[in-house]
Amino acid sequence: MDLLTLLGIAVGALAVVAGFSLEGGHFVTLLQPEALAIVLGGTLGAVMIQNTWARFFDAVKSLRMAFVKAPRVDQASLAAVLEWGDQAKINGLLAFESMDLQGIHPFARRGLELLASGVSTAVLEDALNRELEACGRTHMAAARVWQQAGGYAPTFGILGSVLGLIQVTGHLIEPAELGPGIAVAFVATLYGLAFANLVFLPLFGKMRAYIESELRLRKLYLDGLLAISRKESPHTIATRLAGEVGRNTGLQGEANVWALDTTRAS
């Protein structure tokens, strides 16, 4: 689990509360259920209007991406592709029919199943590219729901402020009633800005980074499986894909040396 997301939200919220306290404010003043209901309820309603039921529930389910470590293109990924290339070189593509596919990435498993069924390279490339594009499109559509929430939240914070000020103007001759109305007005704006910039928009950014990392890993598998389908040697596959590992880990030189060592050993 990626605790950095939760830690970041906690640090941001603590900084706001601590700053408010240092200025002489009281924490209880920030607890305004009316303002919270306006901001969260209004944001939820606006997001539901803009999306379908399926996309809305996808956004909720996809939220887990912000709290788990993103998949990485690393040497282990390249090693798996090279192992498949060795098996294909020794036993042919039919070796994948009896191969245990448990624990293999679903996208790579789909590609290996297609290789085992004997499809052409063109069919394999088309099928996997379509799946890759659909994955990116679906996940990004779900992540953008949180971006939408980040856009709506400040607006509903302003709406809460307006409602609070309307309440204030109705009690101008009753000074005792002015305080709560003004508190709701300003706290609603605070809630809107805080939820947008500490929760919704950062969650969208974290989910987008996860999706981009996932797509890079799938692209590595796609390139490797296509090379296997074209019956390229493991050495050629390693040379071609090692650069991709280096770009995504910041260790390009080490990745290239490792890949060459691996192919020499094979």
Cα–Cα distance for residue pair 217/232, rounded to 1 Å: 20
Cα–Cα distance for residue pair 233/263, rounded to 1 Å: 9
Q: Within 13 Å of residue 15, how many CA atoms lie on the same side as its CB? A: 8
Which pLDDT band, with edges at 50, 70 and 90, does 179 fall under?
Answer: low
Which pLDDT band, with edges at 50, 70 and 90, does 180 fall under?
Answer: low
Which pLDDT band, with edges at 50, 70 and 90, does 68 fall under?
Answer: confident
99 and 115 in contact (C-beta within 8 Å)?
A: no
Cα–Cα nearest to 85, from 205, 229, 264, 188: 229
pTM of the predicted structure, to 2 decimals: 0.81
Cα–Cα distance for residue pair 241/221, rounded to 1 Å: 9
DSSP 8-state symbol, 68? S
Average pLDDT of the residues of the chain: 83
Residues 237-264, mean pLDDT to the nearest whole number: 55
Cα–Cα distance for residue pair 148/192, rounded to 1 Å: 13
Res. 46: pLDDT tops 50: yes
Res. 27: pLDDT tops 80: no
Res. 97: pLDDT tops 70: yes
* pLDDT score at 248: 59
For 106-210, list the strands marked E by DSSP.
none
* pLDDT score at 173: 65
Which pLDDT band, with edges at 50, 70 and 90, does 94 fall under?
Answer: confident
Res. 187: pLDDT tops 70: yes
* pLDDT score at 103: 84
